[in-house]
């Protein structure tokens, strides 16, 4: 499974803000929103385009337009903070939602909402989830998209853990790529990424 590590000064700068425990909620939200746009930009690099012609104020110019717009799939609740950043680049995109809550004992995802088109007919999907930790939430979402007939899927995440990447590799999703700002060291005993940035949902919305 390909993993694209986005190595860019603007990405690194926003990641530093997200990691910093002194970053308050408004600035955490702003940095996540901006970083989401940068990750989605990279995830869209290989989208197919159609040739076109446009009329400028002084003549005709060759142009390219997206052949089809990907569907955006934020994984709730933490992925909600990445949605507006993605929509700035793809304002016409449809949005599906996958709501998952982690069972703190088993570390497995507990689904509470799914709103996806019944038939994606090979369309590209961009999954938005700040953390790829154990891989449980990602695998659940990828299986849902597979059942809906999605084509290529890019998982856009701020951080990935080796354990999560290994879980996706083992599942053998050959049409999936991971686009991330960093691959961290490991998971701790309660399934948090180390050094990580804490709980992305709590830091955006509160600890409840």
Counting residues of the chain whose pLDDT is more than 70, the rounded percentage is 96
Residues paired with residue 41 on neighbouring β-strands, in sequence order: none
CA atoms within 13 A on the CB side of 18: 32
DSSP element (H, E) containing 110: strand 109-115
Q: Is 169 a catalytic residue?
A: no
For residues 160 and 162, give the distance between their C-alpha atoms in angstroms, rounded to a whole number: 7
Options 14, 23, 33, 102, the catalytic residue: 102
For residues 95 and 69, give the distance between their C-alpha atoms in angstroms, rounded to a whole number: 11
User: What structural domains does the chain harbor?
Assistant: 3-49+64-203 (3.40.50.2020)
Question: Does residue 5 have a pLDDT over 70?
Answer: yes
pTM for the complete prediction? 0.92
The confidence score (pLDDT) of residue 104 equals: 64
C-alpha 146: how far from its chain's center? 16
Options 3, 19, 152, 199, the catalytic residue: 199
Question: Does residue 208 have a pLDDT over 80?
Answer: no
Q: Is 106 a catalytic residue?
A: yes
Q: Is 202 a catalytic residue?
A: yes
pLDDT by residue (tens digit) across 78-105? 999 999 999 999 999 999 999 887 766 6
Greatest Cα-to-Cα distance within the chain, rounded to the nearest angstrom: 65
Options 20, 25, 50, 106, the catalytic residue: 106
Radius of gyration of the chain (CA): 17
Across all residues in the chain, what is the average pLDDT? 93
Q: Which H, E and C letters describe 59-73, residue by residue?
A: EEEEEEEECCCCEEE
Mean pLDDT, residues 44-70 taken together: 96
């Amino acid at each position: 499974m390909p993993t694209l590590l986005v190595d860019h000064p603007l990405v690194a700068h926003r990641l530093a803000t997200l990691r910093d425990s002194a970053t308050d909620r408004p600035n955490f939200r702003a940095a996540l929103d901006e970083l989401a746009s940068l990750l989605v930009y990279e995830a869209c690099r290989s989208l197919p385009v159609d040739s076109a012609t446009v009329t400028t104020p002084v003549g005709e110019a060759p142009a390219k337009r997206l052949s089809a717009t990907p569907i955006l799939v934020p994984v709730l609740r933490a992925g909600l903070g990445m949605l507006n950043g993605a929509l700035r680049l793809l304002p016409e995109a449809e949005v599906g939602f996958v709501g998952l809550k982690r069972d703190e004992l088993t570390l497995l995802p507990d689904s509470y909402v799914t709103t996806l088109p019944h038939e994606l007919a090979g369309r590209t999907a961009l999954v938005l989830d700040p953390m790829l930790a154990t891989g449980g939430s990602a695998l659940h979402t990828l299986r849902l998209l597979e059942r809906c007939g999605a084509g290529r899927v890019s998982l856009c995440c701020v951080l990935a853990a080796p354990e999560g990447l290994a879980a996706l590799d083992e599942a053998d999703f050959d049409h999936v790529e991971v686009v991330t700002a960093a691959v961290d060291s490991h998971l701790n005993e309660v399934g948090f990424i180390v050094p990580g940035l804490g709980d992305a949902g709590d830091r955006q919305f509160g600890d409840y």
